[in-house]
Amino acid sequence: MGITEDLADELARDVIKAIEATGNEDLVSDIQQVLGATSQTAEEAFLAAVRVRRANIKARAVLMTKLKKFKAEKEAAAGKADG
């Protein structure tokens, strides 16, 4: 990635961590306003990074849920076969 994307991604990671720590969802829009006032390119890269990272977090959560369900079903089936 270029410097804009690298910096925006780093900032997005930090903002997401801050949201997780504080529960303050307004942080994204606060940072967006600061970036938008100084660099539209940086603002767009930041928002894209936030969206991609949040989508990835949600997708991984779905994957983990499905894997846990599969494992529980597999263990239940093995328990029935033994008993």
* Domain residue ranges in the chain: 3-82
CB–CB of 4/42 below 8 Å? yes
DSSP classification of residue 25? T
- Closest of 30, 57, 23, 59 to residue 46, by C-alpha: 30
CB–CB of 32/50 below 8 Å? no
pTM, 2 dp: 0.83
Average pLDDT over residues 12-39: 97
- pLDDT at residue number 83: 64
| Beta-carbon-side half-sphere exposure of residue 50 (alpha carbons within 13 Å) | 21
Average pLDDT over residues 13-20: 98
Sign of CA dihedral 75, 76, 81, 83: positive
- pLDDT at residue number 71: 95
Average pLDDT over residues 31-60: 97
